[in-house]
Amino acid sequence: MAVGIDTKEECWTTLSVYAPQAGCSGSEKDEFYLCADDAIRSVPDDHCLTIAADLSGYVGGERR
């Protein structure tokens, strides 16, 4: 989800993202990061960017 806020001083874009959980496939995780990257890159250069995220998912079969 993306929200744009236009204030008198500047424009803000806030992205809210949630990483796939441990039980998700590697392809789902890859797709998430590709989509997140696309969303971040789509924010205009003159906007302030805030990312509100739950990125606690991990990739791989073992926790360390």
Whole-prediction pTM = 0.69
* Full residue range of the structural domain in which residue 37 is found: 2-54
Asked, for residue 60, whether it belongs to a domain, the answer is no
**Which of residues 50 and 5 earns the better pLDDT score?**
50
With pLDDT > 70 as the criterion, what percentage of the chain qualifies? 78
Asked, for residue 47, whether it belongs to a domain, the answer is yes
Q: Give the total number of structural domains in the chain.
A: 1
As a three-state string, the secondary structure of the chain is CEEEEECCCCEEEEEEEECCCCCCCHHHHHHHHHHHHHHHHCCCCCEEEEEEEECCCCCCCCCC
| 7 backbone dihedrals φ, ψ, rounded to 5° | -100, 175
Asked, for residue 20, whether it belongs to a domain, the answer is yes
Residue range 25-49, pLDDT digits in tens: 989 989 988 999 999 999 989 988 9
